[in-house]
């Protein structure tokens, strides 16, 4: 309990806000492309902020973060996230099926950033390890890259419907 007392109130507010955002994705919904893009850019920004605020502007960590995004984009060629999404041209909306994957990705980003903050506050030596900072950077790139991959998949669905 002593550890919890040292966590700022805003962290709890952010956590519950992100949980609510993730849970809101667990229902079928109709969304315009811009809404999907906002979530993708927000998660990308949050993970980039996590890298820079924790490790500084460092070519190695930023490069590994970018590699993580490329890994996510490549993986999504096979995963096809979001699954079963449908573009409805007459409404100019996408039908996105319920999924807990956004919640999982949001929580992975949050908890990775939280653990880094905890490690910094407690001056853990592992923060000086390129293996650790590189792994964290790569993971944050993959997690946030999946949101970008999802937005690109929606754009692809729209382009395919325009052709047919």
- The answer to whether 130 and 58 are in contact (CB under 8 A) is no
Q: How far is CA 152 from each of CA 23, 30, 33, 35, 122, rounded to the nearest angstrom?
A: 22, 17, 10, 13, 39
Query: How many CB atoms neighbour CB 22 within 10 A?
Result: 19
DSSP string, 23-85: HHTSS-EEE-HHHHHHHHHHHHHHHHHHHHHHH-S-HHHHHHHHHHHHHHHHHHHHH-SSTT-
Domain range for 78 is: 2-163
Domain count, the chain: 1
Residue 36: the pLDDT is 87
**CA torsion 98→140→156→81, rounded to 10°?**
-30
Residue 108: the pLDDT is 96
Q: In what order do the strands lie in the sheet with 93-96?
A: 29-31, 93-96, 86-88
Residue 26: the pLDDT is 95
Per-residue pLDDT band for 164 (boundaries 50, 70, 90) equals low
Q: How far is CA 67 from each of CA 15, 63, 139, 141, rounded to the nearest angstrom?
A: 27, 6, 10, 7
pLDDT 10s digits, 96-139: 999 999 999 999 999 999 999 989 988 999 988 999 999 999 99
How far apart (Å, rounded) are the C-alpha atoms in residues 156 and 150?
10
pLDDT 10s digits, 24-39: 999 999 999 899 899 9
Per-residue pLDDT band for 15 (boundaries 50, 70, 90) equals very high
């Amino acid at each position: 309990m002593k550890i919890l007392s040292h966590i700022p109130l805003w962290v709890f507010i952010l956590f519950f806000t992100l949980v609510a955002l993730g849970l809101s994705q667990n229902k079928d919904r109709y969304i315009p492309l811009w809404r999907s893009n906002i979530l993708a850019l927000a998660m990308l920004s949050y993970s980039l902020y996590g890298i820079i605020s924790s490790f500084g502007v460092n070519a190695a960590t930023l490069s590994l973060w970018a590699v993580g995004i490329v890994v996510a984009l490549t993986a999504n060629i096979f995963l096809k996230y979001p699954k079963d999404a449908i573009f409805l041209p007459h409404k100019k909306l996408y039908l996105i099926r319920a999924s807990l994957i956004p919640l999982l990705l949001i929580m992975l980003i949050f908890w990775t950033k939280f653990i880094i903050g905890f490690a910094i506050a407690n001056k853990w030596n592992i923060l000086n390890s390129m293996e650790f900072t590189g792994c964290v950077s790569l993971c944050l790139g993959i997690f946030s890259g999946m949101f970008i991959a999802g937005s690109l998949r929606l754009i692809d669905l729209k382009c395919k419907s325009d052709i047919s």
